[in-house]
Amino acid sequence: MLNLHPFIIIVIILALTFDFINGFHDTANAIATSVSTRAISPTHAIIMAAVLNFFGALVSTGVAKTIGGDIVVGHISQPIIIASLTGAIIWNLLTWKIGLPSSSSHALVGGLIGGVLMSDMGAAGLNFMGIGKIVIALVASPLIGMALGFLIMNFMFFIFRNASPAKVNHRFKKMQIVTAAAMAFSHGSNDAQKSMGIITLALVSGGVLHEFEVPLLVKLLCATAMAVGTSVGGWSIIKTVGGKIFKLEPINGFVADLNSSITIFTATLLHLPVSTTHVVSGSIMGVGAAKRIRAVRWGVAQQMVMAWVLTIPCTAVMGSLCYLFITALFD
């Protein structure tokens, strides 16, 4: 039996809580399009997403190593990690409560940056090269999703230009289930690793592990937490992603999910953390713009972009405040 410091146990509990919240907060990313087009029932969609999130989470640990090794320099204290997770959890719950799609990845990165800055380590404790790489991936991925969604949707319009829209959508309704499954798998492959990275970072900084290698038990715990969270579902966010950005038809949902799953899984293979929320939303905007620019509800899209922009600075502030509270509590 490992003799874990109480702070490490708190980190593990908070990281699994973050993963659980990430599961129901980001469920919309995997199933919103297929549910909104009625390709699959909400209950079946959530079960499918939960199962595939679990298996996707076991695919790789490259993203976990990026989160655990590329944001901070050297070992950081457990209170910093606790503050970071707490700030990210608060932000996720706030955005979930109002039904606003927001990035769990941004929240975690922002919380960690704020916690480190407020600690004795200060700016010297941050790896700005690594943070820059992560931020570039977080910013570029939704733009790539939007551009590819636009191009692939236009290609589909060209291929089926002489076909009956009703027949095309009928065929793609079933095919959409396959792309929704791929989306759920890719979501698990990228998002669950972020908590794996945080827990492993805590184990290394606490002297439990001597090198940054994610233990099998940590993989299983994080995969399970995300799968259980996914099974709860985030209905308010599902409504926003599935219907308020653009009125989706099955062929649109198919393209959005296909494009998103490819983009996210490619990022996983490159060990880059990305926001599944941003990628899916960007893909839907691109798909909608391909049909007609005015078909996209740009007012809703603008609100989401504001949330994307504000997440890192807001969670950095939350992480800083949480660190002050925790250090005052235990001093």
For the chain, give the percent of residues with pLDDT over 90.
20
The DSSP call for residue 207 is T
In tens, the pLDDT along 63-87 reads 888 887 788 887 788 888 999 999 9
Share the mean pLDDT of the chain.
83
Judged against a pLDDT cut of 80, whether residue 31 lies above it is answered with no
Query: Taking the mean position of all CA atoms in its chain, how far away is CA 41?
Result: 23
Q: pLDDT band at 301, cuts 50/70/90?
A: low
Average pLDDT over residues 238-243: 56
Judged against a pLDDT cut of 50, whether residue 1 lies above it is answered with no
**Six token digits for residue 162:** 């002489």
The DSSP H or E segment spanning 285 is helix 276-291
In tens, the pLDDT along 33-64 reads 777 777 888 778 888 888 888 898 888 888 88
In tens, the pLDDT along 243-254 reads 566 677 888 889
| Residues 122 and 260 sit within 8 Å (Cβ to Cβ) | no
Of 12, 112, 35, nearest in space to 69 by CA: 112
Burial of 141 (0-12, 13-18, 19+ CB in 10 A): buried
The DSSP call for residue 124 is G
**Six token digits for residue 39:** 């390709």
List Cα–Cα distances, 265 to 6, 13, 279, in angstroms.
35, 27, 11
**Six token digits for residue 262:** 């490819």
Indicate the range of 50-64, 89-103, 195-209, 232-246 predicted with least confidence: 232-246
| Residues 279 and 268 sit within 8 Å (Cβ to Cβ) | no
The residue with tokens 């790789």 is 60
Q: pLDDT band at 322, cuts 50/70/90?
A: very high
